[in-house]
Structure 1
Amino acid sequence: MTSANEKTSNYRYFLFDLIIYLSVMFLIREIYFEKVSFIVNGLFWSFSTLAIAIWRMRVRNISWSDIGLKKPESIQKTIFVTIGILISIVISIMVFELIKDHLPFSIEEKNYGENSASKFGNLKGNWVLFFTIIPAVLVESMLEELLDRGFLINWFERLFSKTTVTTILAVLLQALIFGFRHSYDISDRSIRVAIIGLIMGIAYVKFGRNLWPLIIAHCILNTMSMIDRVG
């Protein structure tokens, strides 16, 4: 049975880890290399954060397999969960678009079209550029699932004790962080991304805590988004 002193120690350990991790996750974005593309900068930010995650996991003797980067129980279940995630995201975003103008608070709307184009280059009709950068986009998709769902949810849970309330809080917190760090504001875009993070987090804890359905779904979403820019 865990003593009060052990619980306090665990709290301090995982709080320390989260402070370091979140500090790097946000502060590393202040470093931007103008001579390389946005996607390269994004990979630099994510791999830097991944290095911190690996460091703290080794200190706590926790492996990637422990938090979900393991062989799926079955291909059928993986496909089912992946499809369920994608359908849930589409429906949730559609509902949000229908109700956002009727919410009791205002949401900042921004036009990210030109900004996105400048980030990825002129993708309109440029399939060569698409196939050049899509591998990096897929790697980034996988990294976000490792970092936001795999690491953050588990560390938020371990911050206190693994109870139902703590798990719900962990899923909510990682979704809010995921949404906010994609635009650093409270806008329609950050809320849409947070909704995606919320659905990913729920799927993670409800369907065996395996990261592969989330990674596959995330890769599909980002691939479709990039194809939309090309078309």
Structure 2
Amino acid sequence: MNENSSTSSIRPDTEGRASAFIDLAIILAVLVGVKQAVLPYSLVFGGPASTFSAMAVGTFLLWRRGFGWSDLGLRWPKSWWVAIGISVAIFLAFLATAGASSALADLWFEDVGTSGRFDFVNGNLAAYLLIMALVWTHGSFFEELLFRAFIITKLGDGLGGTRAASLIAVVLAAIFFGYRHYYYQGMHGALVTGCIGLLFGLIYLRLRSTSILPLILVHGAANSIAQTSRFLSAPAG
């Protein structure tokens, strides 16, 4: 595959659209099914279990159709200085979006935070190292590759591969991303993460022909800051 190729570079025919919907349905089934199966036993690992599983399945689905994650934007940037600059801009946009959407969500919903899901990280070095490993796999690489690259590309292809189809795919992917966080963040968190998903989805459309690593880096950095803050906030013993 050419480095700059994309599964959406040519509008898919009827068979291609059907294939895209089939692949999308499989990934959604894995993401929802595995998560719901694990949640009764672990609030912490339900999400990661589903993304690890979906990454394995998604890699196979791409491979059997002659593609790889590089075709969806996972490539080394041609210039790391440019990538760093883009990352800084994305991070600032992320902060603005998170702040504005949180203020909007405050008008209608109670902010329940993370409902104690990550309390075990407070002051616990082993737990902090474990959660940081998940941040840079499940919470950055896997979520961007699945919720942005795979879902947006496949849904956009299934809807016809047009610009309008891609924009619709971004909105629907953002709604699903918000839903994924509802179980421990409530409607407040679902709205905020949905808005962040919308921002990241729009940025993905611009970056997928070059490199989506800035999105992954910003996602990982934001989660790292949150988890480090939890770790350091433990009261002194």
Instruction: Report if TM-score (shorter chain) is over 0.5.
Output: yes
The alignment's TM-score, normalised by the length of structure 1, stands at 0.84
| Amino acid aligned to 1:53 | G
Q: For the residues of structure 2 that align with 1:190 and 1:33, how far apart are their CA atoms? A: 17
Contact 1:85/1:199 (<8 A) preserved: no
What is residue 96 of structure 1 aligned with on the other side? 101
What is residue 220 of structure 1 aligned with on the other side? 221
List alignment gaps of at least 5 residues for structure 1.
1-5
The 5-angstrom pairing of residues 124-163 of structure 1 reads 124-140=122-138, 141-163=140-162
**Deviation per residue, 1:101-152 (Å, 9 max, x gap):** 55xxxx442524542235xx1x323344313431222111211111111111
Tell me: CA distance 1:36–1:11, structure 2 relative to 1, closer, same or farther (3 Å): closer
- Most deviating of 159-168 and 25-34: 25-34
Q: For the residues of structure 2 that align with 1:36 and 1:113, how far apart are their CA atoms? A: 14
Contact 2:51/2:142 (<8 A) preserved: yes
| Amino acid aligned to 1:44 | A
Q: For the residues of structure 2 that align with 1:113 and 1:166, how far apart are their CA atoms? A: 33
What is residue 229 of structure 1 aligned with on the other side? 230
Q: For the residues of structure 2 that align with 1:205 and 1:124, how far apart are their CA atoms? A: 37
Contact 2:102/2:192 (<8 A) preserved: no
Q: For the residues of structure 2 that align with 1:101 and 1:64, how far apart are their CA atoms? A: 37
| Amino acid aligned to 2:202 | I
The 5-angstrom pairing of residues 14-33 of structure 1 reads 14-32=20-38
Q: For the residues of structure 2 that align with 1:208 and 1:48, how far apart are their CA atoms? A: 23
What is residue 188 of structure 2 aligned with on the other side? 188
C-alpha RMSD over aligned residues:
2.3
Deviation at 1:227, TM superposition (A): 1.4
Tell me: CA distance 1:136–1:143, structure 2 relative to 1, closer, same or farther (3 Å): same
Contact 1:89/1:195 (<8 A) preserved: no
Q: Give the secondary-structure state (helix, strand or coil) at the position aligned to 1:182.
A: helix
Contact 2:44/2:117 (<8 A) preserved: no
68, 84, 88: which one aligns with 2:73: 68
Q: For the residues of structure 2 that align with 1:11 and 1:33, how far apart are their CA atoms? A: 33
What is residue 168 of structure 2 aligned with on the other side? 169
Q: For the residues of structure 1 that align with 2:208 and 2:160, how far apart are their CA atoms? A: 19
The 5-angstrom pairing of residues 193-204 of structure 1 reads 193-204=193-204
**Deviation per residue, 1:158-203 (Å, 9 max, x gap):** 1133221011111111111111111258711001111221111111
Q: Give the secondary-structure state (helix, strand or coil) at the position aligned to 1:61.
A: coil
Q: For the residues of structure 2 that align with 1:200 and 1:33, how far apart are their CA atoms? A: 26
Q: For the residues of structure 1 that align with 2:186 and 2:42, how far apart are their CA atoms? A: 28
| Amino acid aligned to 1:183 | Y
Contact 1:67/1:150 (<8 A) preserved: yes
| Amino acid aligned to 1:89 | F
- Most deviating of 93-102 and 213-222: 93-102
| Amino acid aligned to 1:8 | T
Tell me: CA distance 1:183–1:100, structure 2 relative to 1, closer, same or farther (3 Å): closer
Q: Give the secondary-structure state (helix, strand or coil) at the position aligned to 2:54.
A: helix
Q: For the residues of structure 1 that align with 2:55 and 2:228, how far apart are their CA atoms? A: 27
Contact 2:72/2:208 (<8 A) preserved: no
Query: How many residue pairs end up in the alignment?
Result: 218
Runs of 4+ in structure 1 deviating by more than 6 angstroms, as ranges, are 33-37
**Deviation per residue, 1:185-225 (Å, 9 max, x gap):** 87110011112211111111123542211111011011011
% same residue: 25
